[in-house]
Amino acid sequence: MYIIQRKFYFLFSILSLVAISVLFYGNFSAAQAFVAYALLGAVSLYLYRRQISWQLGLWLTDMLSTQPSAGNRRSNWLQLLIEPLEQRLHHLVSERNIAYAAFNAISDAVIRTDADGQVRAVNRACLKLFNCDRHALLHKSYNLCQRALKVTDAHVDFNDILAKLARGDSQERVFSSIFHVEIKGRVFAIERQISAIYQNGNFAGTVVMLRDVTKAEKLRKRLRFQANHDNVTKLYNRYKFDQRLTDAWHDVKQDDRQHALLLLDMDRFKLINDNAGHASGDQLLRNVAELLRANIRATDVCARIGGDEFSVLLYDVDTDVVEQIMTKLNLAFENLQFASAGQVFDVGASIGATLINKNSPSIADVKRQADSACFIAKNKGINSHQLFSQQDEQLMNIQQEPRWAARIHQALESDEFVLFYQTIQALDTSSNSKQHIEILLRLKSGDKMLSPSLFLPSVERFRLTDKVDFWVISKVFSWFEQKPTLWQKQVLAINLSGESLTNEEFIDNVISLFSQCHFPAEAICFEVTETAAIGDMAIARRLVDKLSAVGFNIALDDFGKGFSTFNYLKNLPAQYIKIDGSYVEEMLISENDFSIVKAIASMAKSMEMKTIAEFVQCDKTMEALDELGVDFVQGYGIEHPKPLADYRH
């Protein structure tokens, strides 16, 4: 049938050529000439619309443009009739050539099909992707053409989408999907977008766009992995583990199931880390991660939630199974000997566990139960374990009256806490003339100053953060009130815990305390970490607004740790962003970390926010941050923490 049609079109083309010859060189009357030109125009337009014999159309145009001989010159009125036809045909040819050139200039592979899914047009990028010429694809089924690509995974069939579009039962005009193909031994991610073409309200075909998104897909996977996993051990991080724990807690409330939460605190890790170095400490953490994977079931979940703390979530277990797994883990730690720099270290872990069932308290209390059990295990000696029980009097006493609580209360009453500071250095002093410092906290113990990593977990565990926070704020306000020469040239950054940020009475007390002072509110910047507002965003937003209304500055600390980062950016008004140090400290050797720091700095600048980079260790990192437009830097490469009492400016 197609061959018959082509012969029919060819016959009309010949008749058109005959008409042209007679018009240019014959002696037809004006009426005959008009009929012949009308026939020529109709045939030429039909050929154009059908996109048949385009070279013939060009040739017809040239014929129309040719001037006849002097003895056979066209009449004036006939010339007026022909010229618009010539101009229209030239215009159509020009428009078609421009559209065709634009079609081939698209870097993505583009395919046009008819309503039956037959390929009608392809661009050069498509020929490159399929590694074939145009004739191998035209007038073939799209599905047949796509089979030429080695698709390595399942995806929505093109014919199913075509049927939906043809029936008109889908409101979605663009269907997007990603599948993977193997080309010359390499696997590429291809994004396919299928759009419908409608002509006079009727479905006329589709446009299929195939785009190589391999690099973007790999970057998305890396970012997703980094957001959910610990950088050293590649286990889940605290953020992701808390999600899984929350899901498990809700699960047992709905179904008659029982899970268990294990908390592991490594014994002697600080000794090994201090003596063998941080690199050896990281290697030990990786060894522990492998130990956990090897000794729990494939269905269970493990994570690194702190410096030397790990958590395990055991699904569908009873008391006996939990005891067996803890015993198995203790034995594995006992057999794990770690060697570094000619030294051999014995490794152990104190393990606390609690059951999660329909009678369990809140998630926060479940964590405290596991933590109390871990505390008891640690008191038993190295490499021990303990299962939490409401009937265990010792456990209940520890949970209600822990010794650390008394120690912290004593420190608050006797002023055994000591304020330290660390300089936050401006990279561009012309636009950031004020001096910035962050207020830090230490606990006095004899002749030593204990790091916050030793006592802050207990402060949080026993809900004493608001008391410690208010002690810090009151002491800082009192110290600053006595330094009027610093009021206009100093900014003090003070950390706020999550419990304080969502405690309205606490915020009111801070504002009341400030009302008795004379220094400007903008000299104080409260730093809010990602975890601070995660409990109740609505309350946090309202209380942060209260602080902002007074004039205090707000900084988002540890920015970039998880996907919830941008939720805090959207909901909490802030003037500063502190880029999480885990990205900064390795940005010179990690392209991903460098890209993340660059993106955060660019985003902050577009939002007119200042950026502070933490964990800056060397001048090269500082120079790189300066080139990226970061405003401030902080870390041991700038200055080690010092007592606030010794601050001089």
* CATH code, 236: 3.30.70.270
Provide the pLDDT confidence category of residue 60 given band limits of 50, 70 and 90: low
Beta bridge partners of 110: 209
CA–CA distance, 558 with 581 (Å, rounded to integer) = 7
Summarize the confidence of residues 460-465 as an average pLDDT: 77
Same domain, 563 and 592: yes
CA–CA distance, 157 with 145 (Å, rounded to integer) = 13
- Token pair belonging to 540: 């946090």
pLDDT of residue 395: 57
**The pLDDT of residue 13 is above 60:** no
Tell me whether strands 343-346 and 524-529 are parallel, antiparallel or unpaired: unpaired
Q: Give the number of domains in the chain.
A: 4
Summarize the confidence of residues 529-550 as an average pLDDT: 73
Neighbours of 432 (CB within 10 A): 16
**Are 263 and 238 a contacting pair, CB within 8 Å?**
no
The residue type of 609 is: M
CA–CA distance, 156 with 418 (Å, rounded to integer) = 63
420-431 pLDDT, tens digit each: 999 999 998 887
- Token pair belonging to 209: 């766009």
pLDDT of residue 510: 96
Same domain, 344 and 365: yes
Same domain, 501 and 616: yes
Question: Given the structure tokens 């009309």, which residue do they identify?
Answer: 12
**Are 579 and 613 a contacting pair, CB within 8 Å?**
yes
| DSSP-derived secondary structure letter, 523 | G
User: Which of residues 103, 131, 161 is at a domain's end?
Assistant: 103
Residues 153-192 as b/e (b if ≥16 CB within 10 A, e otherwise) read eeeeebeebbebbbeeeeeeeebeeebbbeeeeeebbbbb
Neighbours of 39 (CB within 10 A): 14
| Full domain range(s) for residue 169 | 106-212
Provide the pLDDT confidence category of residue 527 given band limits of 50, 70 and 90: very high
**The pLDDT of residue 417 is above 90:** yes
Give the helix ranges, DSSP H, for 381-432: 393-400, 403-414
pLDDT of residue 534: 46
Same domain, 38 and 165: no
Long-range contacts from 541-546, C-beta under 8 angstroms, 24+ separation: 541/571, 541/572, 543/501, 543/502, 543/503, 543/504, 543/507, 544/501, 544/572, 544/573, 545/573, 546/507, 546/508, 546/511
Same domain, 238 and 343: yes
Same domain, 280 and 177: no
Q: What is the mean pLDDT of the chain?
A: 81
Question: Of 18-22, 340-344, 600-604, which gets the smallest average pLDDT?
Answer: 18-22
Phi, psi torsion values for 207, nearest 5 degrees: -115, 125
Same domain, 540 and 619: yes
Same domain, 440 and 580: yes
Same domain, 114 and 255: no
Same domain, 411 and 311: no
Neighbours of 458 (CB within 10 A): 17
Measuring CA to CA, which residue among 455, 450, 543 is closest to residue 499?
A: 543
Provide the pLDDT confidence category of residue 82 given band limits of 50, 70 and 90: low
User: Which of residues 212, 239, 255 is at a domain's end?
Assistant: 212
Same domain, 298 and 332: yes
Same domain, 289 and 163: no
* CATH code, 597: 3.20.20.450
Element housing 385 (H / E)? strand 385-387
Question: Of 18-22, 386-390, 525-529, which gets the smallest average pLDDT?
Answer: 18-22
- Token pair belonging to 261: 């939460």
**The pLDDT of residue 89 is above 90:** no
Neighbours of 468 (CB within 10 A): 23
User: Which of residues 172, 189, 212 is at a domain's end?
Assistant: 212
Summarize the confidence of residues 195-219 as an average pLDDT: 86
**Are 537 and 571 a contacting pair, CB within 8 Å?**
yes
| DSSP-derived secondary structure letter, 309 | E
